Amino acid sequence: MNAPVQTAEAREIALAGMGASRLRKEDARFIQGKGNYVDDIKMAGMLHMDIVRSPIAHGRIVRINKEAALAIPGVHAVLTADDLKPLKLHWMPTLAGDVAAVLADEKVHFQMQEVAIVIADDRYIAADAVEAVEVEYEELPVVLDPYAALLPDAPVLREDLAGKTEGAHGKREHHNHIFTWDAGDKVAADAAFDNAEVKVSQHLYYPRVHPCPLETCGCVASFDPVQGELTTYITSQAPHVVRTVVSMLSGIPESKVRIVSPDIGGGFGNKVGIYPGYVCAIVSSIVLGRPVKWVEDRIENISSTAFARDYHMDGEIAATADGKITGLRVNVVADHGAFDACADPTKFPAGLFHICSGSYDIPAAYASVKGVYTNKAPGGVAYRCSFRVTEAVYLVERMVDILAQKLGMDKAEIREKNFIKKEQFPYTSAFGFEYDSGDYHTALKKVLDAVDYPALRAEQATKRADPNSPTLMGIGLVTFTEVVGAGPSKMCDILGVGMFDSCEIRIHPTGSAIARMGTISTGQAHETTYAQIIATELGIPSEVIQVEEGDTSTAPYGLGTYGSRSTPVAGAAIAMASRKIHAKAKKIAAFMLEVNENDLDWEVDRFKVKGDDSKFKTMTEVAWQAYHQAPPGMEPGLEAVHYYDPPNFTFPFGIYLCVVDIDRATGETKIRRFYALDDCGTRINPMIIEGQIHGGLTEGFAVAMGQQMPFDAQGNLLGNTLMDYFLPTFVETPHWETDHTVTPSPHHPIGAKGVAESPHVGSIPTFTSAMVDAFAHLGMTHMDMPHNAFRVWKELKARGMNL
Amino acid sequence: MAKKLINVSVNGKAEEKAVEPRTLLIHFLREELNLTGAHIGCETSHCGACTVDIDGQSVKSCTHLAVQCDGSEVLTVEGLANKGVLHAVQEGFYKEHGLQCGFCTPGMLMRAYRFLQENPNPSEEEIRHGMAGNLCRCTGYMNIVKAVQYAAKKLQEPVTA
C-alpha cells in the first residue's frame, strides 16, 4: 500500500525546522536527573583538591607551614607557589595579555586569593587539611578605589611588574595603571562640544557584580603518564581555547590534551576564563599520576572567579537646542582588580565599549577607558553581554535620558529624533562600527502603542499632582543596539586565534545525521536549535539530527559560547556546511533521476524534476545513494565541514519599557509592567527565544535592583554567599511581556543575529530609567544602581517624600 | 572518624550504609549512592538545587546530615518517574520549557512534586511563594510557574483505567 501523499506544507511541519517552537531535545536527561555535569564525574582512584585562600586583601606571605596538614591521614600533598616554580607554573598568562598568580608568589593581592592547594582522598579530608595549613602574613596597605590607586604615592600593588612601562596595550603611566585605550575622533568630538548649544554631563558608576551561575566552577583532571595524555572535564564556555592554553603551559602536545565541557550549569561569562583552580588540578594530576577533582563552593565562586562591570564612567552629550545630538564624549576608569584577566578580544582591552553611541546617529564621538589595578579579585568578564556592551548601553541610554530632561523633551521623542533611520543602514558609526540592519522607528512605535504610552504619562501626571499618592510612578524607556557575534578574525582574536567558529555535519546512510560544533551550550539549547537549522537546510527532521559539542577530541575547533556568538557565528557555519552537503546531494539526485542538476528544484526535503511532480528524490534516498553507489567520479559519503569567519558583527536591537511604582513609606519598588520588544533578525525557535529573554530580563532585574559586591576598608568582600548576594526568587521576579520585530542581518546566511544577551543589556538601563523617572519631577537626573529599598528610601527621605 | 550505620529507603530501595556522622545527605546521595540528580549550588540552603523529599517533606540535602535520615524514606529526582512514565511535574517542565541549563531542575521538580501535594490547586501567587526556596538563574521563573500549573491540572485529571 502506498503511503498517503503529504503536502509540502505537512512535510515542512514534520521537519520541525527553523521557526518551529519545537520542544527541547536536551530536556529528557535533565528532568530525570541524568544530566552529566562536572561534579557528577567520577574516575577510578580520583582524589579531591581544595584551596587554601588568603584571609586578607594585600600582604606578604611570611611563611607557610604544611606539616599539620600533611600529617592528616588521607592527605596526599600540599603545594604552594614554591612547588610550582620549578615547573614555571606559579604564574600563568591571562587572556588579556597580563599574568596572574596561579598560587600566590610571595604576596597576596586580594582576599580569597589562592595560596596553597591540598589533595586528599575525599572532599572532607581535603577541607580538614585546608584548615590545618598555617600561613603567616605581613599586612600591606589595601587599595580598593581605582582613582586612589592612580595617586602618585599609592602603594605598589604589582611588584612583579616593577619597571615595566609598556603593557600589553601600550604605555603604562603609573605603577597601578594597566592601559589607556581610546576610540573615535577626539578632535571632532571636542569641536562638537565647543560649538554645542546644549551640553549635559553625568558621572555614572556601574557596580561590580558577579554572574553567579547556579553551578560553580570546577574540573576533573586526569593525566595518563603511560600514554602522556591529559583529559580534563571542565566547566568551560570555551573548551578549545582551554586546550590550546593548557598545551602551551604544560608543553603537552595539543593532540594529547583532551578538554571536555560536559553539561554546564549556566555560564553567563563566568566560565570563559582559565582559573588557578583548573591549573592546580591539572598539575596535581600530573604530579600524582591520579585523577584529581576540584569543585569550588559558592563563597569561592563569588569571591575569586571573574566579576563583571566595576566601571566608573563620565559621560557628556552635546546637542542642538531642539534635541539633535551632535557629540558624545566618555571617560572611563575601569577597576580590573589584581590581575588584568578580562576576557576580551585581544585588540580590545575595553571590549566593544565603543558601541556606546547606541541606536543614534551621532556625528562625532570619543571614548577613553583607563584600566587600573586594585586589591580585588581579577575579572571584568562579559556577563551576559558581548564584551562591555552592557556598560556602553547603560552609558548612552542614561545620557540620552538626562539630555531629554534638560531640554524638557519626552524620552520617546528625543530617541525618535536621533535614531539611525532605516534607510541609513548599513550605517557606519562615529566609532567605526558598520551596523548591519535595523528599523528602530517601527519597533518604538509598536511598543508605545502596545502599552498606550500617552495614557501612562497621563496617569503619572495625575499621581504627581496628588501629594497624598502613596507611590511614585516611573516610566523607563530604553532603545538599545548591541554588537555581537565576535567576530571577524581580522578584528577579533583570543591569544592570536581568530574568532571564527565551526561545524562538521555527517549524513548517515539511512538519512539521520550528526553535527559537531566548536561552541558549547550552557543552557541555550544548541542541541535543539542547531538541529532545526540543519532540518530546514537539508530536509531532515530535527528529531533525528544529533548535535555534539564540548569535546575537543571530536568537535572541530571553535572559540566557544559567549558574547551571543553561537547563532551569529556557529549558526552561520551550520548553514554553510549544510549548503556544501546540499550541493553534493543535488548532483547525486540529478544522477539518480538522470537529468541535469539545473533541471532540479528543491522542495522541503526533496529534489524534484522541474515540471514533473512525480519525479523526485528525497534527501534520505540521496543519502543512501551516496553510501551505496556514488555517481562516477564522485567521492562516496555525505558530509561537510565549515569554518565560518563572519564578515562583520551583527547588531541586534530592542525597545524596552518599564513601569514602576515606588512605595513612599518603604522605598520598595513594584515592577508593574515590563514590555520587551526584541529584534534578533531571523528567529529559529520562538519558544527558546522567549525563554532566553525571560532569563536575561531576570538577570537584568537582579543587577539593577539588588546586586552589589561591597567591600569594607580592609578589602573584605561583604556579600559572597547567597545569603547576602541577591539572586531574585519566584516572588520578586516580575511578570515579563515579550514582543518582536524581524529585521534579518543581510550578511548572515540565515539572517540571524543572536538574542540571549539582549534582555540583560537592555533591561538594566530600563529599570534605572524608570526609577529616575519616578523622581524626575523632583529634579533628579540620575541615581546609581542598585535600586534596593534602602537606597531608594534614602532618596525619598532626602527630598521629604517619605511617608 | 568512627562511622555510624544507617538504614534508609531511597527511591523505594533499602540501603544500609556506614557513614561518617558529618556526612551531608547530598554527598551521601551523590557519592555513596551515585544519585547525581540533586546538585550542590550554594551550601547554605538558599538555592534549592539539592532539594529532595524526606518522609513527605521537601528538604535541602546540602544542609542535612545523612545520619538524620536513619529510618527515613527519601525520594530523589531519579525516583520520580514510574516505570519509565514521567511524573506530571517532569512532563510539565518539558512541555512548558521550564528549564534551560538544567542545574536547578532536579530540585525544582522535587519541590513542585511536594508542593502540589500540599496545595493541589494553587494560584499563581501561591506557586510563586510555595516554590520560592528554589532559585533558577536561566528561566526567569514564568515558564516554571506554567510547568507547575500544567502538572496541577494533569494531576487533577481522573485516572483512566
Cβ neighbourhood burial of A14 (10 Å; 0-12, 13-18, 19+)? middle
Which has the closest alpha carbon to A379: A326, A307, A461, A477? A307
Give the full edge-to-edge strand order of the sheet including A600-603. A600-603, A606-609, A612-618
Please give the Cα distance from A97 to A170 (Å, whole number).
Answer: 11
B41 touches chain A (CB under 8 A): yes
A730 touches chain B (CB under 8 A): yes
Helix (H, G, I), strand (E, B) or coil at A536: helix
Backbone angles phi, psi at B40, to 5 degrees: -105, 120
Question: Who's near A8: CB < 8 A, 6+ residues apart?
Answer: A603, A604
Mean pLDDT over residues A469-479, rounded? 98
Please give the Cα distance from A760 to A357 (Å, whole number).
Answer: 18
Question: Who's near A629: CB < 8 A, 6+ residues apart?
Answer: none
Measure CA A342 to chain center: 12
The answer to whether the predicted template modeling score (pTM) of the entire model surpasses 0.95 is: yes
Angle between helices A758-775 and A389-407 (to 10 degrees): 30
Complex prediction ipTM: 0.98
Best of B19, B23, B96, B138 to substitute, by most chain A Cβ atoms within 10 angstroms, is: B138
Task: Give me the total of CB pairs closer than 8 Å, taking one residue from chain A and one from chain B.
Answer: 172
Written as one string, the DSSP assignment of A188-228 is HHHHHHHT-SEEEEEEEEEEEE----SS--EEEEEEETTTT
Q: Which three cell numbers stand for residue A394?
A: 547603560
Q: What is the pLDDT of residues A649-668, one digit of tens each?
A: 999 999 999 999 999 999 99
**Beta-carbon separation of B47 and A28 below 8 A:** no
| Maximal C-alpha separation, chain A | 91
Q: Which three cell numbers stand for residue A572?
A: 552561520
Residue whose cell numbers read 519566584: A730
> Which residues of chain B make contact with A726, given a CB cutoff of 8 A?
none
Which has the closest alpha carbon to A689: A740, A750, A614? A740
**Is residue A1 over pLDDT 50?**
no
Question: Who's near A248: CB < 8 A, 6+ residues apart?
Answer: none
Q: What is the pLDDT of residues A267-312, one digit of tens each?
A: 999 999 999 999 999 999 999 999 999 999 999 999 999 999 999 9
Helix (H, G, I), strand (E, B) or coil at A735: coil
Which has the closest alpha carbon to A571: A623, A619, A536, A618? A536
> Which residues of chain A make contact with B92, given a CB cutoff of 8 A?
none
Which has the closest alpha carbon to A381: A422, A340, A414? A340
| Helix-strand-coil split of chain A, %, nearest 5 | 30, 25, 40
**Is residue A2 over pLDDT 60?**
no
Confidence class for position A3, pLDDT limits 50, 70, 90: low
Residue whose cell numbers read 607557610: A64
Q: Which three cell numbers stand for residue A176?
A: 597601578
Annotated catalytic residue A594: no
Please give the Cα distance from A131 to A125 (Å, whole number).
Answer: 10
Q: How confident is the prediction along chain B (161 residues), in pLDDT tens digits per residue? A: 799 999 999 999 999 999 999 999 999 999 999 999 999 999 999 999 999 999 999 999 999 999 999 999 999 999 999 999 999 999 999 999 999 999 999 999 999 999 999 999 999 999 999 999 999 999 999 999 999 999 999 999 987 64
A731 touches chain B (CB under 8 A): yes
Contact indicator for B58, B77 with CB cutoff of 8 Å: no
Q: What is the pLDDT of residues A351-374, one digit of tens each?
A: 999 999 999 999 999 999 999 999
Cβ neighbourhood burial of A423 (10 Å; 0-12, 13-18, 19+)? exposed
Percent share of chain A, pLDDT over 90: 98
Please give the Cα distance from A91 to A98 (Å, whole number).
Answer: 10
Which has the closest alpha carbon to A266: A384, A415, A96? A384
A40 touches chain B (CB under 8 A): yes
Q: What is the pLDDT of residues A505-537, one digit of tens each?
A: 999 999 999 999 999 999 999 999 999 999 999
Confidence class for position A343, pLDDT limits 50, 70, 90: confident
Q: What is the dihedral angle through the alpha carbons of A630, A631, A632, A635, rounded to the nearest 10 degrees?
A: -40
- Closest CB from A24, A215, A696 relative to B39: A215
pLDDT at residue A668, rounded to an integer: 98
- Give the gap in angstroms from C-alpha A216 to the nearest C-alpha of chain B: 7
Please give the Cα distance from A349 to A92 (Å, whole number).
Answer: 18
